[in-house]
Structure 1
Amino acid sequence: MKRILLLLICTATLGLVSCKKETIVQETSNKTIIFDINPSQWKLSNDGLSYDVSFNDIPELDDYGIKYEGTILSVSFPNYTIYKPLPYVFDVSSYHYSVYQGGITISIESSDLQATRPVQPTQSMKFKLVIVASNNVS
């Protein structure tokens, strides 16, 4: 009886010792797109109240992404060392964006109630679009 018990204990001990730990590394599914906008790309709207630029060729902004994922847009200028998330006000210019399937529109409006015409940028700006993956829990 003692031999059988000892044999079972030894077998269990060897079985537990032979287990190896596996580390599972999950790949991040967030996507980052960095692009520059030159001053000549900004177009004044028909009503004269905003400067806009649109990008209609971003396949990462698909139907699923619009419905369930998050989008964060940040701007970096004038020295490209710091990114500021939009919406953002710099001097009297208010920057904001709209996301739609396949693209994004970035707009500049005046935040000054006295002068409603926005100021057109005079230098290139770097934008960073981050698409944040998310699980729908509803």
Structure 2
Amino acid sequence: MKTWLYLPLLLLGFILPGCTKTTNEVVIPNQTILYELNPGDWKQDTNGMYYFVIPVPELKNVNQTDGVIVSLARYAPNSSEEPQNYELLPQVYNSQTYLVTHNAQAVEIDIKGQNGTASTPPATKVRVKIVLIPSVQ
């Protein structure tokens, strides 16, 4: 009689381990865009502010939940060695305020003088790194 009571428990022991939960993860990779700017590439507006517009057609697929990260690396003076340290924008560097705006076609980097001082473009070549990070909500 006791054997019949243990039979359902024994059968459950064989059935339950066969059930496994599977999860499907969708990984959407980010996209990195590198852009080189020479000192003479910067333009000056009527207010004395320097700016540069980087065309980024990949931005047309970016929505409000996605991330756009812009960083800047300076080359050492008189050096062709590629920079390794990127600084996240916006920031203040050498009394210059670096600002970033973007729309569906381009990223604009503006340089303003701190506290009303005149702005000056970087004296060396810089590399701009733009990282587009998709987000699935």
Please, what TM-score do these two structures have when normalized by structure 1? Answer: 0.74
C-alpha RMSD of matched pairs (Å)? 2.7
Give the aligned length. 131
1:106: which partner in 2? 109
Percent identical among aligned pairs is 24
Counterpart-to-counterpart distance in 2, 1:5 and 1:29: 54
1:68: which partner in 2? 65
Superposed counterparts of 1:66-105, under 5 Å:
67-78=64-75, 80-105=83-108
- The answer on whether the counterparts of 2:33 and 2:130 sit within 8 Å (CA) in structure 1 is yes
2:120: which partner in 1? 119
Runs of 5+ consecutive residues of structure 1 not aligned to the other structure:
none
Counterpart-to-counterpart distance in 2, 1:40 and 1:73: 21
2:7: which partner in 1? 7
- The answer on whether the counterparts of 2:32 and 2:129 sit within 8 Å (CA) in structure 1 is yes
Superposed counterparts of 1:49-60, under 5 Å:
49-59=48-58
2:134: which partner in 1? 133
Runs of 5+ consecutive residues of structure 2 not aligned to the other structure:
77-82
Q: Give how far 1:86 is off.
A: 1.2
Counterpart-to-counterpart distance in 1, 2:89 and 2:108: 12
